[in-house]
Amino acid sequence: MKNNNFNNITDAYQLISGARIKGKKQDEIFELGDYDANKRGYTVYPYEEGVKFKDFSVVISEKELKNNYLIEDAKATSPDAETVSPSVELANRYLKSA
């Protein structure tokens, strides 16, 4: 992926499950999992060619994500990101999981 699809992480609200991140100094891409309150960090899975590898994961703190990683632009990952508000999207995810 090109670097112009990735932006600095400025706010914790950007860190949602399924977001793709990339190290500032590396080209590997990862996908964010859920926040683990016991470990005080986000579970991160390797992501390559459209496949998320669930057999390996690491936990990364919010501070480390903000300082050392870039997040993929929402417009690049979702074609209808401009038409659906984030609150509606979260409500839909909640209803699907219930």
- In the Cβ-directed half-sphere of 68, how many Cα atoms lie within 13 Å? 12
For CA atoms 75, 78, 56, 10, the dihedral sign is: positive
Query: What is d(CA 32, CA 75) in angstroms, rounded to the nearest whole number?
Result: 17
Least confident stretch, 22-31, 40-49, 83-92: 83-92
Q: What's the rounded Cα separation, in Å, for the pair 41 and 32?
A: 10
The rounded mean pLDDT for the chain is: 79
The per-residue pLDDT for range 27-38, each reduced to its tens digit, is 889 999 999 889
Band of residue 20 on the pLDDT scale cut at 50, 70, 90: very high
Distance (Å, rounded) from C-alpha 7 to C-alpha 83? 21
pLDDT at residue 9, as a whole number = 86
Our CA angle for 16, 22, 6, nearest 5°, is 80
